[in-house]
């Protein structure tokens, strides 16, 4: 989405999903990507460009952070679909690796949704 900052996209996502903007929020840099946590890990958002080589490290770093946060409900994840910079088949592979890492580390029951914007 040209001309739009990550903050713009994050606020738009929160408004569209009905997330309370007053929830506690924290941002960490994981695998050189900004990851936002809202509501103690109820929602995680990464709107950064994710290099294909970093997809697994990003998934592991997010899983480690969720281990610290210990959310009581399943977590919803959103990533910028166009943020996977490998292009074509490699981009699909990077998305799949990230999703598989999160599901493996956190379990299917700990994930509410893996979405792309």
Q: Which uninterrupted H or E stretch holds 35?
A: strand 33-38
Q: What's the start-to-end Cα distance of the chain, in Å?
A: 10
Query: Which residue is it, tokens 């929020």?
Result: 25
Asked if residue 26 lies in contact with residue 66, where contact means CB atoms within 8 angstroms, the answer is: no
pLDDT score at 83: 77
pLDDT score at 66: 94
pLDDT score at 87: 58
pLDDT score at 98: 87
* Residue 1, domain member (yes or no): no
* Residue 34, domain member (yes or no): yes
pLDDT score at 64: 96
Domain that holds residue 103: 6-116
* Residue 26, domain member (yes or no): yes
pLDDT score at 89: 66
pLDDT score at 88: 61
* Residue 10, domain member (yes or no): yes
Confidence of residue 45 (pLDDT cuts 50, 70, 90): very high
Q: What are phi and psi of 9, to 5 degrees?
A: -65, -40
Q: What is the pLDDT of residues 47-90, one digit of tens each?
A: 888 888 888 999 999 999 999 999 988 899 998 877 776 556 67
The structural domain count of the chain equals 1
Residue 103: Cβ within 10 Å count: 16
Give the single-character DSSP code of 50: B
pLDDT score at 20: 80
6-26 mean pLDDT: 82
pLDDT at 1 over 90: no
């Amino acid at each position: 989405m040209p001309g739009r900052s990550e903050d713009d996209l994050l606020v738009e996502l929160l408004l569209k999903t009905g997330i309370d903007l007053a929830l506690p929020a924290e941002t960490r840099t994981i695998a050189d990507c900004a990851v936002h946590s809202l509501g103690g890990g109820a929602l995680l958002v990464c709107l950064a460009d994710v290099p294909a080589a970093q997809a697994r490290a990003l998934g592991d770093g997010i899983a480690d952070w969720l281990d610290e946060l210990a959310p009581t409900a399943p977590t919803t994840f959103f990533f910028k679909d166009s943020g996977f910079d490998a292009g074509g088949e490699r981009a699909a592979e990077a998305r799949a690796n990230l999703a598989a890492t999160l599901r493996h580390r956190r379990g299917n029951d700990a994930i509410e949704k893996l979405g792309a914007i």
